[in-house]
């Protein structure tokens, strides 16, 4: 039997087949884009610094919101501060007679019926004083108003007897902004205005927020000759 001849296959690798061999140095590979950008940046001349714009004059600050010719109330925190100032002394003062009566009763110097009557009267008086001291600052705050315009300030106060005080800027000699320990804790202040025409005349406006008191002082004295605190 004749043998079947097998055709010889001449196999060659496909030109498109990927190989793991590094590319020859003579092929002129393309430089990576990042390296080219970096080299272009180094070769480029330094850009000219832009001149700084000339500083513009500062705009004049707008007037304070309370300089509008409308009536304003003082800071509501002044109600709490005034209550503390009035209630604590009342309690401290009322404790002394209660202690004296109690000691006299304990030493058999005061009969039981008299002691009970004294204690009952002490409770009634103390309760009335505390209620009055609690309500009075609220009423005072309700009826205390101030109005500021370009000509000066007007203060209206009084619970039972109303009083209106007008202070033109032309009569203001100097001002004083003061703070006590309790006012400092509540960030409050008292503005005192000394006016011309009457020797020793001064008007105080208490219960102002500290910043408002300073701005009001500067408004009343535009030349800033106030006593700063």
Residue ending a domain, among 118, 143, 168, is 143
* pLDDT tens digits for range 130-174: 999 999 999 999 999 999 988 889 999 988 888 999 888 888 888
Number of domains in the chain: 2
Q: Please give, one letter per residue, the 3-state secondary structure of the chain.
A: CCCCCCCCCCCCCCCCCCCCCCCCHHHCCCCCHHHHHHHHHHHCCCCCCCCCCCCCCCCCCCCCCCCCCCEEECCCHHHHHHHHHHHHHHHHHHHHHHHHHHHHHHCCCCCHHHHHHHHHHHHHHHHHHHHHHHHHHHHHHHHCEEEEECCEEEEEECCCCCEEEEEEHHHEEEEEEECCHHHHHCCEEEEEEEECCCCCCEEEEEEEEHHHHHHHHHHHCCCCCCECC
Same domain, 133 and 164: no
| Residue 99: domain span | 73-143
Residue 98 in any domain: the answer is yes
Residue 125 in any domain: the answer is yes
Look at residue 93 in the predicted model and tell me its pLDDT: 92
- Segments of the chain scoring below 70 in pLDDT: 1-66, 197-200, 222-229
Same domain, 83 and 133: yes
Residue ending a domain, among 106, 124, 143, is 143
Look at residue 46 in the predicted model and tell me its pLDDT: 47
Residue ending a domain, among 123, 143, 163, is 143
Same domain, 150 and 85: no
Look at residue 131 in the predicted model and tell me its pLDDT: 96
């Amino acid at each position: 039997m004749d043998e079947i001849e097998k055709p010889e296959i001449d196999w060659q690798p496909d030109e498109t087949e990927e190989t793991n061999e590094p590319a020859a140095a003579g092929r002129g590979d393309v430089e990576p884009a990042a390296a080219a950008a970096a080299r272009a940046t180094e070769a480029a001349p330094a850009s000219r610094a832009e001149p700084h714009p000339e500083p513009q004059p500062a705009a004049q600050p707008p007037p304070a919101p309370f300089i509008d010719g409308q009536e304003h109330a003082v800071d509501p925190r002044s109600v709490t501060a005034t209550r503390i100032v009035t209630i604590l002394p009342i309690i401290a003062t009322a404790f002394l007679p209660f202690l004296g009566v109690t000691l006299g009763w304990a030493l058999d110097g005061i009969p039981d019926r008299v002691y009970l009557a004294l204690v009952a009267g002490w409770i009634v008086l103390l309760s009335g004083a505390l209620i009055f001291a609690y309500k009075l600052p609220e009423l005072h705050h309700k009826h205390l108003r101030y109005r500021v315009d370009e000509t000066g300030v007007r203060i209206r106060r009084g619970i039972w007897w109303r009083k209106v005080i007008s202070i033109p800027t032309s009569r203001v000699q100097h001002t004083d902004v003061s703070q006590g320990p309790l006012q400092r804790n509540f960030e409050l202040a008292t503005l005192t205005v000394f006016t011309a025409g009457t020797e020793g005349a001064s008007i105080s406006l208490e219960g102002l927020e500290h910043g408002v008191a300073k701005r009001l002082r500067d408004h009343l004295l535009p030349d800033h000759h106030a006593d700063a605190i």
